[in-house]
Amino acid sequence: MNKRIHYYCLVLLAVMWLLVSSGRVRAEWKAGVAKQKITPAHSMWLAGYGHRTHPSTGVLNDLHAGCLVLEDDHGSRVAFVTLDLVGISPDVADPIFAELEKQHGLPRSRVVLACSHTHSGPVVGHNLRTLHYDLLSADQQHLVDKYAESLKPAVVSLVGRAVKSLAPCAVSYGQGSASFAANRRNNKEPEVPRLQEAGLLVGPADHDVPVLKVTDPLGKLRCVLFGYACHATVLDGYEWSSDYPGFAQSELEAAHRGATALFVAGCGADQNPLPRRKVELAKQYGRDLAAAVDMVLAKDLRPISGPIKVGSTQVDLALASTPDRATLEQLARSDDRYIAARARLYLDHLAAGKFIPNTYSYPIRVWKLGDEFTFVSLAGEVVVEYAIKIKQDLGRERTFVSGYGNDVMAYIPSRRVLFEGGYEGGGAMVYYSLPSPWAPTIEGRILTGYRAALSDSK
């Protein structure tokens, strides 16, 4: 009997050696995956648009939170947490970070809370506070507060389940392409279909579809983490929906039974899915994005080896100006309800003995998986030029640059967009309750911060 057991052990070791040597498994990696619905249980106000006049009326497709935890052979871990939400702010994110470190030993630097930026999800805490300030009844505000409170235990439990499911895996990376995003600053929406067909779209864009592939030791797909730089704004109705990113995830999970698909938004603040406003278009863009991911999955991807190295920093971004009390009192009488609401918020701030900030602490993460892959997480609604510049710096084929990470506090314009002005250049600051546009130093400060975090990750 002992000889037979010894024989079977030798056979098993030989099989594992063949799998490792063939690249089908890399023993230095473990992955844990979990996913759950976060669709509100009650009719609530939807986030992202000021024209809505009443709460949600139903569900088109569910909102989800997902988690991929990766662990190298030194026990070093990072957690990608994806959220089908318009955004989060520190009032929601900070308690989640604290609890993840307390319960799961994951410090803030090793977690990314990546929002899809769907405009068909709920209002979340203080995010886009001015936009929804005058729209919420006391009952609706209570539901918003309760939903925000529920996110902490939901995300902490989700990450815990992912950690418990850690198992050996192989990790690889590739790039695809999808073309439905158009630069909304440089192309008029009604003209986009004609311009797309004629190949005449102008303005910077990033049509890359980065794909991180996680397989089990036998080569079966376990998780795919993918991204795209485009607003999730196909839909603007009253049904809960994860928009095109959710439809893409569903397509991939249907095509790869047992696998989990997770979407991370790229730097698409100035990119729209065009044309839009129809459910079928959201489904079509989801199918298009899933097809782009599937084309990557079918290839021989670049294997990624360890170890994990982490860089993280907070950069103080200066604001152009801050209003005094007299200015706020004047603005509070404005006919523009958003300008008036922001002024009232800051007058309340002053009445409570607080000061109006002239800087904002901006989080940046840089994670390196070996020498083959770099993941950069930028906060806020980041215009596409940041991703283009970072990928030129690091190499497009091995770099995944995301926006909407950890804190969605405002639009993040490049220096060019800031000076051009418009919605992304400064007009949207009022809806995020920041007192003015950014100072001209914004692009330099963020790129310097990214490079500092990159240096720390080496």
Q: Which DSSP string corresponds to 18-46?
A: HHHHTTS-EEEEEEEEEEEE---SS--PB
Cα separation, 212 vs 227, in Å, equals 9
Answer yes or no: are the C-beta atoms of 81 and 66 closer than 8 Å.
yes
Whether residue 77 is predicted with pLDDT greater than 90 in this model: the reply is yes
- Our measurement of the distance from residue 300's CA atom to the centroid of its chain's CA atoms, rounded to an integer in Å, reads 27
Non-local CB neighbours of 304 within 8 Å, separated by 6+ positions: 29, 171, 172, 173, 369, 370, 372, 373
Q: Given the structure tokens 């989700």, which residue do they identify?
A: 158
Q: Which of 251, 244, 204, 252 is nearest to 228 (CA)?
A: 244
Q: What is the pLDDT of residues 274-315, one digit of tens each?
A: 999 999 999 999 999 999 999 999 999 999 998 999 999 999
Non-local CB neighbours of 358 within 8 Å, separated by 6+ positions: 318, 319, 321, 322
What's the mean pLDDT in 417-427? 97
The model carries a pTM of 0.92
What's the mean pLDDT in 104-116? 98
Whether residue 402 is predicted with pLDDT greater than 90 in this model: the reply is yes
How confident is the prediction for the chain on average, in pLDDT?
93
Q: How many residues does the chain have?
A: 458
What's the mean pLDDT in 358-376? 96
Q: How many CA atoms lie within 13 A of 279 on its CB side?
A: 8
Confidence of residue 458 (pLDDT cuts 50, 70, 90): confident
Confidence of residue 4 (pLDDT cuts 50, 70, 90): low
157: how many CB neighbours lie within 10 A of its CB?
A: 16
Whether residue 22 is predicted with pLDDT greater than 60 in this model: the reply is no
Residue 1's pLDDT is what?
45
Confidence of residue 164 (pLDDT cuts 50, 70, 90): very high
What's the mean pLDDT in 377-400? 96
Whether residue 110 is predicted with pLDDT greater than 50 in this model: the reply is yes
Residue 19's pLDDT is what?
46
**DSSP string for 83-108:** E-SS---HHHHHHHHHHHHHHH---G
Q: How many CA atoms lie within 13 A of 259 on its CB side?
A: 25
- Our measurement of the distance from residue 332's CA atom to the centroid of its chain's CA atoms, rounded to an integer in Å, reads 34
Whether residue 25 is predicted with pLDDT greater than 50 in this model: the reply is no
* 271-273/221-228 β-pairing: unpaired
